[in-house]
Each structure stands twice: as C-alpha cells, then as structure tokens.
Copies of this chain bind each other. A is one copy, B any other.
Amino acid sequence: MPRSPKQLEEHRKQKKKLIMDVALELFAKGGFHATSISQITRKAGISKGLIYNYFSSKQDMLEEITETAYNEVYKNFDLDKDGVLTNEEFIFFIKETFRIVRENMSFWQLYFALMVQPGIQESFSEKYQEKSKPILNQIYAFLQKNGSTDPEGDLFVLSSLVEGAILYLVVAPDIFPSGKMEDKILQACFRLISTPEAPPKN
C-alpha cells in the first residue's frame, strides 16, 4: 500500500501498535479468555484476518503485549545504578512507581490477572521477576544501608505495602484519592524502614 520500504515498515509498526493497544485494553477489562478476536477487530476497525498478518495466534499476541508493556514500564526506572539509593532517590522511586501505574492502568490490571492465574501465560511470573530483580536489589541495598537487620524480610514487607496499594489503585481508581494516598504510602515506607532507635526526620 504505502511507498518505500521505510514507510512500509513504519506503517506496519503503527498498525501493530494499534492492535496491541486495543487488545491490551480489552484483555485488561474483560480478561484474556473472555475477549474474542472479533471484539478486538471490531474496536480496532480492522478485519479478522489482518490480526494474523501481525500475530501468529491470540496467545502470541498476549505475549507480545506483555513483553512490550513491561519493557515500556521498566525503561522508565533508570535511576543511576552505580551507588546505593539516597533517600531522595527512594522517594523518587516510589513516586515514579505510582506515576507509571497511573499511566498504564490497563497493563497493571492485566498484570494482576496474569499473576493470579499463571495458566493464562505460562512464563509471565518468571519473566516479570527477572525484569524486576535489579530494582528489588537496589531497594535491598537501600534497606541495608538504612540499618535493617533483616533486609530480606523488610523488602518483603515494603513490597507488600506498595503492591497492595497498587492493587487498590488499579481495582478502585475512583475511590483512591491518589495524591493523598501516595503521600501516605510514602510516609508508611519511611516508618517501616527507619530503625526503631532513630526515627527519620522526614
């Protein structure tokens, strides 16, 4: 249809993105199995067959969507890796987390669905753990630096708190007064990481 090979590739890229965006939204809202190819094509304004010019199967589509989405997510987490996190960087990290979740609600909805029901995408949990490991390691080091005697356990507690809050944000975004709650979670984090002897001045 278009002209040069360059333009061609560009066009394919855009079409693929359109399909993936629509599919992600429908998968997130209704679930993978409950969403039909026809629904996707209807909403994307394309034909059924075209899907299979871009993806080899519905399953493949899901995998490409999750792969792309969490690459998108994690490329935003480039705190300088060399040193251990400062307090400011930790605050930034938490705020970034909430910002990213708020801007990719559909993905995070799908994320929880795939976490809870691993049968839908076999390797999702493992892949995700792998991707998030460097970040968790930084938090781990941050906890050690802050005098934690059980950084593993404290990391778990912190993760629970943040993941729980994200779950609320995703499940009930209109109940969640996000500005205030972000601050509350941040405060709670500092309460949890500070050693009992020396409470933080923050």
Contact = CB atoms under 8 A, between A and B. Distances in A.
A108 to B, nearest CB: 9
Contacts of A172: 125
A184 interface: yes
Interface string A132-166: 00000000000000000010011011011111110
How many copies of this kind of chain does the complex include? Answer: 2
A153 B184 contact: yes
Contacts of A154: 184
A119 B31 contact: yes
Interface residues of A, number: 40
Interface string A174-202: 00000011001100100110001001000
Please give me the 7 A-B residue pairs with the lowest Cβ-Cβ distance, nearest first.
Answer: A164-B164, A160-B164, A33-B33, A160-B165, A163-B164, A112-B116, A161-B161
